[in-house]
């Protein structure tokens, strides 16, 4: 007799002889199995398989149109992780046929005329194995889905923490959240144009808002001064790059690692005259070179208490002029090549009136 799980098991029987199919159906029904799906024309096997998703396949070898070996090859080509066991039922009873069928993917081999009790026992054993395999597969899928959901939650939490760190710096500065949005989106546009993949672009999108996190450590008297800074004040202001790196350093998270490099090096210059480390050329991390262009352009065309707003044309002229001096020439090239998208970012995130 079948077990409780076997009663709903789906069996697909394939044989070109109607009498054989009728016999199989009667034998299985007598043991409490659901009526098997019967296929007489082997060309219909794939359609029947994809419709029913059987737990066991009973397969004849010697058939017109497609023989049993061709049927097994077509089923294997589906790459179904839950491909059910195949029991070959055939009059071809030589050892060579048996080995060939097992090599082609059959799990068992029964010669016709078969013993009824033997067949039913082998059907039961195969269904035990397949139903256990299906249960493990479903459990693994459930665990993978739970892990993926938890991973997404952790990633979202990480991004939210990072965004709040960026906002903490904004509250201490004359800059606004719109600046951070514009700068990070422009940096992402440049990175994508340079050939970065989507994962890398997402990193710079979320890491770049923390470029000025070190301003948390700068006195309000300097940070909020409504005019130009004197030399000593400028020296203190420039320490924000190193302070930002100190806040972010020591993490094993790729996002915070990139944010640390940007915070420390986004004021370095291609010709080596920047700060805090006087790096030059490709010694400056590429993400910092990207953010330098995005940050300076936005600063030029935005309202600041210590400067006038530059016209777009003036700002672009300066960016071009500083290629090879302040900025990486290749980064400037990709900035200019994507100017329409960059100006759209500025239109979309305009400062409030």
Under 8 Å between Cβ of 171 and 212 = no
Instruction: At 334, list the tokens.
Output: 């990709």
Domain membership flag for residue 339 = yes
Which residues are within 8 A (CB) of 32 and not within 5 positions of it... i.e. 6 or more apart?
1, 2, 6, 7
Same domain, 124 and 179: no
| Residues shown for the chain | 353
Pick from 243, 39, 201, 28: nearest CA to 119 = 28
Under 8 Å between Cβ of 16 and 41 = yes
pTM > 0.75: no
CATH number of residue 117's parent domain: 3.40.50.2300
Same domain, 89 and 194: no
Instruction: At 103, list the tokens.
Output: 């090599």
Domain membership flag for residue 46 = yes
Pick from 146, 112, 148, 135: nearest CA to 21 = 112
pLDDT (0 to 100) of residue 125:
86
34-61 b/e (C-beta count within 10 Å ≥ 16 → b) = eebbbbeebeebbebbeeeebbbbbbbb
Domain membership flag for residue 275 = yes
Task: Report the alpha-carbon distance of residue 95 to residue 75 in Å, rounded.
Answer: 24
Same domain, 247 and 301: yes
Domain membership flag for residue 151 = no
pLDDT (0 to 100) of residue 174:
54
CATH number of residue 303's parent domain: 1.10.3210.10
As a three-state string, the secondary structure of 28-44 is HHHCCCCCCEEECCHHH
Domain residue limits at 40: 6-144
* Per-residue confidence in pLDDT tens, the chain, 353 aa: 555 466 678 899 999 888 888 888 888 888 888 888 899 988 999 999 888 889 999 998 888 888 989 999 999 998 888 889 999 888 777 788 889 888 888 888 888 887 788 888 888 888 888 888 888 888 888 888 888 888 788 777 777 777 677 767 766 665 556 888 899 999 999 999 999 999 999 999 999 988 999 988 898 888 888 778 899 999 999 999 999 999 999 988 899 999 999 999 999 999 999 999 999 999 999 999 999 999 999 989 887 656 678 899 999 999 999 999 999 999 999 999 999 999 999 888 877 65
Same domain, 79 and 189: no
Task: Report the alpha-carbon distance of residue 290 to residue 327 in Å, rounded.
Answer: 9
Task: Report the alpha-carbon distance of residue 71 to residue 43 in Å, rounded.
Answer: 8
> Would you call 278 helix, strand, or coil by DSSP?
coil
Where do runs of H (alpha helix) occur along 65-219?
A: 68-76, 95-104, 116-171, 177-193, 198-207
Task: Report the alpha-carbon distance of residue 153 to residue 160 in Å, rounded.
Answer: 10
Same domain, 190 and 80: no
pLDDT (0 to 100) of residue 276:
96
Last residue within a domain, chosen from 127, 144, 161: 144
CB count in 10 Å sphere of residue 330: 15
Instruction: At 173, list the tokens.
Output: 């500065």
Domain membership flag for residue 50 = yes
Same domain, 179 and 317: yes
Same domain, 328 and 193: yes
Same domain, 59 and 137: yes
Task: Count the domains in the chain.
Answer: 2
Domain membership flag for residue 167 = no
Domain membership flag for residue 155 = no
Instruction: At 186, list the tokens.
Output: 């422009």
Domain membership flag for residue 166 = no
Under 8 Å between Cβ of 285 and 265 = yes
Same domain, 101 and 54: yes
């Amino acid at each position: 007799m079948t077990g409780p799980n076997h009663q709903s098991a789906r069996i697909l029987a394939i044989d070109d002889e109607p009498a054989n199919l009728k016999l199989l159906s009667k034998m299985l029904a007598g043991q409490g199995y659901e009526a098997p799906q019967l296929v007489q024309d082997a060309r219909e096997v794939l359609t029947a398989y994809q419709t029913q998703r059987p737990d066991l396949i009973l397969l004849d070898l010697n058939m017109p149109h497609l023989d049993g070996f061709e049927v097994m090859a077509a089923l294997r080509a589906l790459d179904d992780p839950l491909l059910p066991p195949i029991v070959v039922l055939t009059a071809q009873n030589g050892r060579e046929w048996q080995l060939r069928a097992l090599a082609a993917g059959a799990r068992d081999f029964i010669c016709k005329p078969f013993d009824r009790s033997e067949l039913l026992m082998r059907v039961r054993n195969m269904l035990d194995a397949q139903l256990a395999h299906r249960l493990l597969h479903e459990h693994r899928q459930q665990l993978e889905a739970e892990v993926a959901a938890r991973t997404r939650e952790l990633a979202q939490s990480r991004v939210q923490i990072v965004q709040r760190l960026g906002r903490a710096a904004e509250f201490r500065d004359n800059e606004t959240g719109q600046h951070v949005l514009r700068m990070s989106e422009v940096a992402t546009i440049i990175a994508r144009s340079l050939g970065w993949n989507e994962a890398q672009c997402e990193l710079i999108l979320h890491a770049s808002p923390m470029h000025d996190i070190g301003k948390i450590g700068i006195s309000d008297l300097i940070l909020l001064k409504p005019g130009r800074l004197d030399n000593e004040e400028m020296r203190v202001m420039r320490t924000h790059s190193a302070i930002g790196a100190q806040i972010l350093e020591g993490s094993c998270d790729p996002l915070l690692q990139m944010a640390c490099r940007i915070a420390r090096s986004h004021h370095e210059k291609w010709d080596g005259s920047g700060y805090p480390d006087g790096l030059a050329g490709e010694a400056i991390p590429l993400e910092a070179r990207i953010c330098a262009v995005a940050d300076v352009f936005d600063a030029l065309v935005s309202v600041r208490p210590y400067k006038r707003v530059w016209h777009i044309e003036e700002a672009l002229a300066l960016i071009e002029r500083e290629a090879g001096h302040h900025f990486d020439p290749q980064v400037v090239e990709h900035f200019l090549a994507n100017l329409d998208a960059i100006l759209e970012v500025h239109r979309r995130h305009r400062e409030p009136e």
